[in-house]
Amino acid sequence: MAVMGVALLPLAILSYVQGLKTAQLAEARVTNVIKGETLIAANPLIAELMKAQAKAATLATALPAVVQGDVLANLDACRRLMDNLVDANIGVVTFAGYVDVNGQMACGARNEQRDLAGTEAMAILLDDPGPKIAVNPYGPVTQASVLIVSHPVVDAAGSLMGFAFVSLPHEALDQQTKTASTTDDQPLALITFDANGALLTSSIGMDAAEQSLPAGRDLASFTRNNNGRSFIASTPSGERRAFAVVPLQIGSLYLIGSWPADRLDNTILEGALPAFMFPMLMWAASLLVAWLAAESQVLRHVRLLRDRITAFAAGERQLPELNMDGAAIELRSVGRAYERMTDAVVRNEADLENTIHQKEVLLREVHHRVKNNLQLIASILNMQLRGARTAEAKEAMRTVQERVISLATVHRELYQTSGLTDVRADELLPRVAGDLLRIGSAPGRRFELVASVDDIRLTPDQAVPLALFLTEGMANVIKHSWNAGTAGSTVGLRLERTGGGIARFTLRNSLRPVVAQGDDPLVPGSDGFGSQLLTAFSQQLNGKVTRGREGDEYLLTMDFPLRPLSEAEERSAASREAPRG
């Protein structure tokens, strides 16, 4: 996808450049359309203003003939000139007059005379004696808002004599554009203003003009561009409108058209999608197509294959059929290879489990046969015991018989425990001890076993010597136990971990209490053949044996290292439970 994105980037840049040019052309077209439509709508107003300027210029040309210096040579001729101009009914001019440089208007239509000396309007005319258009909200004659168009009057030498002017009422001017510039619900406002930003005329009335202009914009700032401009802005009421500024007379008269934004045929100026959006969308769509193709052809099949492999590695063997329809041929080949591999693994595991089961059956059968053979030997010894003539011979044969029976007990418990390649000590040792105590019990001699064995797993090489060590210890317990008429003699059995891979075996039983100083009670296993057997079994376990009296109890202890199960034929189940053994 990254490579495809880089490959498509030049095309996206090219599309962006083309889109930008198209947007610029469209914006230029819309700008020209707005300005053209504004001029068309304002044509009646522009015509009236041009007529008024022409009339003022005509007056300025004719007045020097009836004015000499600052004195009117023919007052009646001047008045007739003004009346004829107004009565000619050319345009909407309602008043015409002449004011000299002293501010005296002695010649006006309908014999109007005014003293304008010292007024602000006169000061503006004298400060810049050129053609001007100004607004007077309170006309001196009509007392209504008028537009005054003035033109300087000069003599043959070029000296300023005064000013000729004509008045156009705003109401008449607005009526010229109202029909062409309004809709039923959103009027098109045509507003004129001068170079200082002062409003001159408005097709919707001077009071409503402020609400149709762009908010926060100074109209004087629009006079810097002599070619006009178009833009979208909001009015003070928040309405979005399209504006077109057109210079009618550069430096003195400007027109601004305020259009409802929804009247435009093209919305480029209203903030349509930027030019870069289309190539970016095209580029993003190409990447999306690439991603969808990769997802459809590769990714979803790889995820499916990954999930199956992960589940199989975690031990899950009952998996649904792997559906790789629609995948690339290479992935289908991988899927088929995976299915063949898992089938082979499952078959091999089944064969291995069957082999292990057969091995366990054989091992149990071996232990069972050894136990039977040892019981047979014990029976033979019992028959020989009956025919013995001396007490020493009977005692020796009885001792051998008891040890053979103990060995048979060990092998019986070995094939009855849950493991064969690994033996659970918490199952083996309590069973062996319990069986031996039941065999050694007699009327007046009973035993109570208190066993506490940790869940420790032993290899058979350790389980057998440990069981025989327990057997020899239990023989001494049975032989030398003392209960003094109590309900029973307590025998304690304990196997625990002590840390560092060391286990401690403890066997204890009650003894006759010391009754006098120097009394030397019997300490079992302190010498003789039994002591030699205990030493031999402990050596097989690499253990250290300690024994002796502790209060009124005999204590037999052996510390020996636990052998790792990996040294035996450890089963997989045992390996998963290695922290416990």
Is residue 388 assigned to a domain? no
Return the pLDDT at 523: 47
d(C-alpha 2, C-alpha 6), whole Å: 6
Q: Could you tell me the two tokens for 115?
A: 């003293």
Domain carrying residue 118: 54-141+149-166
Least confident of 220-224, 230-234, 247-251, 298-302: 247-251
Q: Is 33 in the same domain as 68?
A: no
Is residue 352 assigned to a domain? no
CA neighbor of 208 nearest in space, from 233, 180, 230, 239: 239
**Looking at residues 489-499, what average pLDDT do you find?**
89
Q: What does residue 477 show for φ and ψ, rounded to 5 degrees?
A: -60, -45
Is residue 6 assigned to a domain? no
d(C-alpha 455, C-alpha 144), whole Å: 115
pLDDT tens digit sequence for 534-560: 899 899 999 999 988 887 788 899 999
Return the pLDDT at 200: 75
Taking 50 as the threshold, does the pLDDT of residue 292 lie above it?
yes
**Residue type for 85, please?**
L
Is residue 529 assigned to a domain? yes
Please identify, among 221, 248, 270, the residue that sits at the C-terminal boundary of a domain.
270
Taking 80 as the threshold, does the pLDDT of residue 45 lie above it?
no
CA neighbor of 496 nearest in space, from 545, 454, 533: 454
Q: Report CA-CA distances (Å) from 91 to 49, 87, 176, 374.
A: 9, 10, 10, 145
Return the pLDDT at 575: 43
Range among 163-177, 223-237, 377-391 rated most confident: 377-391
CATH number reported for the structural domain that contains residue 122 in this entry? 3.30.450.20
Taking 70 as the threshold, does the pLDDT of residue 128 lie above it?
yes
**Looking at residues 342-366, what average pLDDT do you find?**
86
Taking 70 as the threshold, does the pLDDT of residue 11 lie above it?
yes
Higher-confidence position of 24 and 474: 474
Q: Which residue has the tokens 């980037």?
A: 9
Higher-confidence position of 413 and 98: 98
Q: Is 554 in the same domain as 464?
A: yes
Please identify, among 270, 302, 327, the residue that sits at the C-terminal boundary of a domain.
270
Is residue 262 assigned to a domain? yes
| DSSP summary character for residue 514 | P
In this prediction, residue 123 has a pLDDT band, given cuts at 50, 70 and 90, of confident
Please identify, among 226, 243, 270, the residue that sits at the C-terminal boundary of a domain.
270
pLDDT tens digit sequence for 428-461: 889 888 888 887 777 767 788 899 999 888 887 8
E strands, 137-176, are 146-154, 160-169
Number of folded domains that form the chain: 3
Q: Which residue has the tokens 């035996």?
A: 568
According to DSSP, the residues that pair with 95 across neighbouring strands are 167
Long-range contacts of 525-531, Cβ-Cβ distance < 8 Å, separation of 24 or more: 525/472, 525/473, 525/476, 525/556, 529/399, 530/472, 530/475, 530/476
Q: Could you tell me the two tokens for 228?
A: 């006009």
Q: Is 241 in the same domain as 126?
A: no
Q: Is 442 in the same domain as 558?
A: yes
Residue 301, classed as helix, strand or coil, is helix
d(C-alpha 2, C-alpha 54), whole Å: 71
Q: What does residue 191 show for φ and ψ, rounded to 5 degrees?
A: -130, 130
Taking 60 as the threshold, does the pLDDT of residue 420 lie above it?
no
d(C-alpha 66, C-alpha 59), whole Å: 11
Is residue 99 assigned to a domain? yes
Higher-confidence position of 533 and 482: 533
Q: What does residue 68 show for φ and ψ, rounded to 5 degrees?
A: -120, 110
Return the pLDDT at 504: 94
Is residue 33 assigned to a domain? yes
Least confident of 182-196, 256-270, 455-469: 256-270
The Cβ of residue 332 has, within 10 Å, a number of other Cβ atoms equal to 15
Q: Is 98 in the same domain as 131?
A: yes
Q: Is 125 in the same domain as 244?
A: no
CA neighbor of 481 nearest in space, from 533, 532, 521, 538: 521
The answer to whether residues 199 and 253 touch, using CB atoms and an 8 Å cutoff, is: no
Q: What does residue 511 show for φ and ψ, rounded to 5 degrees?
A: -125, 165
Least confident of 89-93, 173-177, 216-220: 173-177
pLDDT tens digit sequence for 137-178: 666 666 667 778 888 988 888 888 889 988 888 677 666 656
**Looking at residues 413-425, what average pLDDT do you find?**
69
Taking 80 as the threshold, does the pLDDT of residue 229 lie above it?
no
CA neighbor of 475 nearest in space, from 531, 557, 546, 423: 531
Q: Is 156 in the same domain as 195?
A: no
Q: Report CA-CA distances (Å) from 578 to 411, 570, 575.
A: 25, 10, 5
Taking 50 as the threshold, does the pLDDT of residue 262 lie above it?
yes
Least confident of 50-59, 123-132, 516-525, 561-570: 516-525
Q: Is 161 in the same domain as 208?
A: no
Q: Which residue has the tokens 């899950």?
A: 316
Residue 31, classed as helix, strand or coil, is helix
Return the pLDDT at 561: 93
CA dihedral 131, 135, 136, 141 (to 10 degrees): 60
Q: Could you tell me the two tokens for 130?
A: 């050129």
d(C-alpha 424, C-alpha 402), whole Å: 25
The percent of residues above 70 in pLDDT, for the chain, comes to 80
Q: Is 106 in the same domain as 212?
A: no
Least confident of 152-161, 269-278, 283-292: 269-278
d(C-alpha 194, C-alpha 220), whole Å: 8
d(C-alpha 580, C-alpha 577), whole Å: 6
CATH number reported for the structural domain that contains residue 196 in this entry? 3.30.450
CATH number reported for the structural domain that contains residue 450 in this entry? 3.30.565.10
The answer to whether residues 545 and 476 touch, using CB atoms and an 8 Å cutoff, is: no
- Buried-state track 28-55, b at ≥16 Cβ within 10 A, e below 16: eebbeebbebbbebbebbbebbebbbeb
Q: Which residue has the tokens 């103990």?
A: 406
pLDDT tens digit sequence for 293-349: 888 878 888 888 888 888 888 888 887 888 888 787 888 888 888 888 888 998 998
Q: Is 36 in the same domain as 99?
A: no
Q: Cβ contacts of residue 32 below 8 Å, gap of 6+? A: none
Taking 50 as the threshold, does the pLDDT of residue 117 lie above it?
yes
The Cβ of residue 248 has, within 10 Å, a number of other Cβ atoms equal to 18
The answer to whether residues 575 and 565 touch, using CB atoms and an 8 Å cutoff, is: yes
Q: Is 199 in the same domain as 160?
A: no
Q: Is 483 in the same domain as 552?
A: yes
The answer to whether residues 239 and 30 touch, using CB atoms and an 8 Å cutoff, is: no
Is residue 321 assigned to a domain? no
Return the pLDDT at 487: 55
